[in-house]
Structure 1
Amino acid sequence: MRAVTQTAPGGPETLAVTELPDPVPGPGEVLLDVAATAVNRADLLQRQGFYPPPPGASDVIGLECSGTVAALGEGVTDLAVGDEVCALLAGGGYASRVAVPAGQVMALPAGVDLVTAAALPEVACTVWSNVFMVAGLRPGDVFLVHGGGGGIGTFAIQLAAASGARVFTTAGSEDKLARCRELGAEVAINYREDDFVDVVRRATDGRGADVVLDNMGAKYLSRNVDVLADEGRLVVIGMQGGTKAELDIARLLAKRGAVIATALRSRPLDGKARICASVVEHVWPLVADGTIRPVVSAVLPLEEVGEAHRMIESGEAVGKVLLTP
């Protein structure tokens, strides 16, 4: 198979397409012929040597894909060769073939083409599991998501708005802010010019946010606690702003608030399978009826993987960047 490899951690220039042996599906796994994969922020960290794959996962970068079932491992009975699907991966997506546990393979939402479907698994599973399954976002809640112009942000805005929440988001350019509003954000905040704590509090008569989805980590921790409403939930899913910060427990106690840090990639297989099944049940119907739309900035051939990484790293992309093998 064709796959992206690198000889040492580093910049986008370290990535190259080479030939590797085809993966073989083990018991409970499915072999997919990959139609497309997507670039995620976590991929940049893995490329730099900061986010190694979990034990047993492929060293090839790539946390999601779409494709066609090519072979079934022992014990897989609910899929068939030729099925068009998308999948959540622990690794291996930047390749023409990948083996994946059957519980992480999902049928395509109606109306979504096979290539575009590669933009869905990671964002849908991340947002649904964290914002709804963990943080329990409810209709009428105030929801703040940072990085509204990215893959996670564009999906979270749409899903939260569809649930009946009031959606606030941050982004760093007027173009991205406008796109966030188009997707359903009630208030889009330029983090380069305005303090999101002040903006959210003014717009909610001092209440603050019931749920915050944060990709920044340390840099935003103190202000995220400040912006929480009473009994608010802060869910940290990224470390773009560092890994260590001071937490004022007294402020958190006064609000009866919660700070939750989660990772999707390292979850046990049965946990990922439950999330995927819940996404198919609750999220795919909203994609099928057009309430939620995959947001794709560019589709590039696998050979342009370095450019795809640069697009994500620079922040110029809105939504997802896809790669086709």
Structure 2
Amino acid sequence: MSNTSHVLEISGLHLTLPGRPRPVLAGIDVTVGAGETVALVGESGSGKTLTSRSALALLPPDAEVSGTVRVAGEDVLTMAPDRLRTVRATTASMIFQDPRAAMDPLRRLGDFLTEGVRYASAKAPDGRLAELLDAVGLPARVLRQYPHELSGGMLQRVMIAAALLPRPRLLLADEPTTALDTITQAEITTLLARLRAEHGCGLLFVTHDLELAAAISDRVYVMYAGRIVETGPAAALFEHPRHPYTAALLAATPRLDAPPGPLAAIPGRPPDPRTAVGGCAFAPRCAHATDLCTAEVPAPRSGVACHHGERPS
């Protein structure tokens, strides 16, 4: 049964692609509450983006999918096309990683900003657009400009304003600061946190930056090779990681107060998605792996999917 306090409930999500023996997503369970910020972290290729896009049913057309993905209590995977288009335009919005790739270079930004509400046969309340532009720090003249006339940081602000215009209950941010400089990254994440609090929507923040996840989120899900390997409150998870992968990611994070010497690195590389994996996918790279790890996939227990999750970090 759906929890009415959750704006996003992903339960038992499996996704496989033709020619790939290993699932791209294998039993994903993720929830986002109203007014909550949840981070989804992991290396490239772990399945973060596909997990977030499942909330809008933006999945490969040839994928075999099972499980449920409920947005505001409705399963988008079984939804009729007309209803799904309405949900995408009004209930859940996505901030994409590369704003230039998401915008038509031949159309003015005013068209892009209002496209969603116009598609839903609605219009923004009087003053709403001006209010949002002011909230994201943009002048009204951007409505008449084209994407090439703005910087990457300004375009990301336009995308945030477009996502918030219909007052969505769920906001999906797919690595929205990756292509930005450090100062603009800080401005965008501060802006997102403030607007999320003001509008009361749930925010799923996809990132590979653990420091950023710790700063912005209430809870964190750590993904590896299509599975959730650890989840918990952000402060507790980063202070006392229980999965070896989480601990290794934190150890590999550059720090100003780190002792001199080379950065720590995780040995090996993530498993090839075209190759089947037996047991724990992280076992070949894990210093604590045993025969049990290579033979059996660990079931999640108390927020960690590891045969040795009780091991001190």
Larger % of strand: which?
1
TM-score, normalised to structure 2, is: 0.27
Rg larger in 1 or in 2? 2
Higher relative contact order (CA 8 A, sep 6+): 2
